Chains A and B, each alone.
Chain A
Amino acid sequence: MENKVTRNLVFIPYALWILIFVIAPVTLVVYYSFFDIEGNLSLVNYKTFFTPVYLKMTLSSFWYAFLITAVTLLVAYPTAYLITRTKHKHLWLLLIIAPSWINLLLKAYAFIGIFGTYGTANAILEVFGIGSKQLLFTDFSFVFVSVYIFIPFMILPIFNSLNELNPSLLDASRDLGASKWTTFRRVIFPLTIQGVKSGCQVVFIPALSLFMLTRLIAGNKVITLGTAIEQQFLVTQDWGMGSTIAVFLIIFMVVIMVATGNRKKRGAKNER
């Protein structure tokens, strides 16, 4: 009996954590979204969200997130594939992932220097005779730096699923006369789609909510949902509107997670 009590006492901190830091914050965000800037209960924030200004912002945020995810996937898939075929693949993977451990701010800061007016990127452009261009504070640099940051996140799940791929399937495909491209299209890609999906998930959702990069690299030219939330909370101090955007971001996040369907895989893992 006494054991039962002490046992439960020991687990109280974790239960409290779930209550206070998982359930309460989400509830509070939803709660605050129903208050206007003066603190009156109203649906005005939701009305504002459905005005063209916010809808356009949401759309452009999605477009950039899509662009970032697509480019990241195009770069990461071949990389992951090639790494699985190297001799010390786990070492190479570690080396690919290591940069993701370095403080994000420092990487963004490095690009301020590289893309600056007198930076390396412009120096290279000069060499090729293109002449220097305004690179920093454009949407190009925003997408480039975002892709740079997200590449390791995309490579890891794709690498894992490629690594689980049974190589004899590829031999079988080749023996049956499939070309390399057909093998990729009909065998490799379908079998690694789960890795691609979870990769897209871990890139797309953060890409929707980036706010530091939009300020440092895009010079406020790109406004993502994350930027809008930060703006409302810390600059305008309109917590209601900020919460409303956050509610929509949460909804989008859940939709994306269901669409990329990680659940099935997780269920299968638990069965083991």
Chain B
Amino acid sequence: MRDKLAISSKAYLFIIFFILYAPIFYLVYYSFNSGGTMSNFEGFTLDWYKELFGDTRLLIIVLNTFVIALLSALVSTIIGVLGAIWIHSIKQRQTQNTLLSLNNVLIVSPDVIIGASFLILLTMAGIKLGFYSVLLSHIAFSIPIVVLMVLPKLKEMSPSLIDAARDLGASQWQVLTKVIIPYITPGIFAGFFMALTYSFDDFAVTFFVTGNGFSTLSVEIYSLARRGISLNINALSTLLFIFTMLLVVGYYFIAQRGNTRGLGVRK
């Protein structure tokens, strides 16, 4: 029914796609350069990858990043799911909307503000900057996204399901674990994945609340990049790129299965 796209339109789309993907493949391409620069491809080598895997400091940072991402995603999913159930269970629309607005504050705030305010908060609370301050911050900024991923599922659920369970003698706990949680599982997984990627990609907030001794990948790449080009970062980028793509694909399948809302843009 729709007329086909004109050649010029196709060309336009092609250029946009090219511009969006070119820098990424540029990084990947030069990670195999034996020349040591990002401009002159001399020959194929895997030396940068070898160097990467020989760099214990960097490997520890990678490990830190994963631990922070997994722990923060886990904790924020638990708190977020309970929060979503709470918001959903509130009868007064006014209160519900207020809670939702409060929930969204951290989503719309610029990273710099979140980072700066968390820095003040954590310092005042006397928490030493390092692993725990980063973990707490990541949990904090991941919770609202989990709530937003779970809420639509809760809204979709027919209230008569809960009534039925209660009529059949289920306790509050049983209603939660046997009826509500199984129903919203796709939303929970989606929220967990989003939290994982949020934590994984965050730079600004971590940059503010990390101390001297602790670093995550984003912060490390930043300080390396400020010193200039080193093809180690390219090799690292390639691995991260593959990892991210796996996450996207994983998320996509979960979203498809659960029929939740489509893929959102990363903040």
B2 interface residue, CB < 8 Å from A?
yes
Complex CA–CA separation, A116 to B230 (angstroms): 13
* Cβ 8 A contact of A103, one of B85, B218, B229: B218
The digit string for A208-250, where 1 denotes a CB below 8 A from any CB of B, is 1101100110000000011001100110000100110010011
A181 interface residue, CB < 8 Å from B?
no
Q: How many residues of B contact A (CB 8 A)?
A: 84
The digit string for B127-148, where 1 denotes a CB below 8 A from any CB of A, is 0000000000000110100000
Give, as a whole number of angstroms, the nearest-CB distance from B133 to chain A. Answer: 12
Give, as a whole number of angstroms, the nearest-CB distance from A84 to chain B. Answer: 9
A118 interface residue, CB < 8 Å from B?
yes
A82 contacts which chain B residues (CB < 8 A)?
Answer: 5, 9, 12-13
B39 and A119 within 8 A (CB): yes
B263 interface residue, CB < 8 Å from A?
yes
A81's nearest neighbour on chain B, judged by CB, is B9
Q: Given A22-B105, A79-B13, A85-B2, are A106 and B120 neighbors across the interface (CB < 8 Å)?
A: no
A3 contacts which chain B residues (CB < 8 A)?
Answer: 171-172
Complex CA–CA separation, A90 to B218 (angstroms): 30
Complex CA–CA separation, A257 to B13 (angstroms): 30
Complex CA–CA separation, A20 to B143 (angstroms): 13
A108 and B116 within 8 A (CB): no
Give, as a whole number of angstroms, the nearest-CB distance from B62 to chain A. Answer: 13
Instruction: List A residues at the B interface (Cβ < 8 Å).
Output: 3, 6-7, 10-11, 13-15, 17-18, 20-26, 28-29, 32, 75, 78-79, 82-83, 85-86, 90, 92-114, 116, 118-120, 123, 148, 151-153, 156, 167, 202, 205-206, 208-209, 211-212, 215-216, 225-226, 229-230, 233-234, 239, 242-243, 246, 249-250, 253, 257, 270
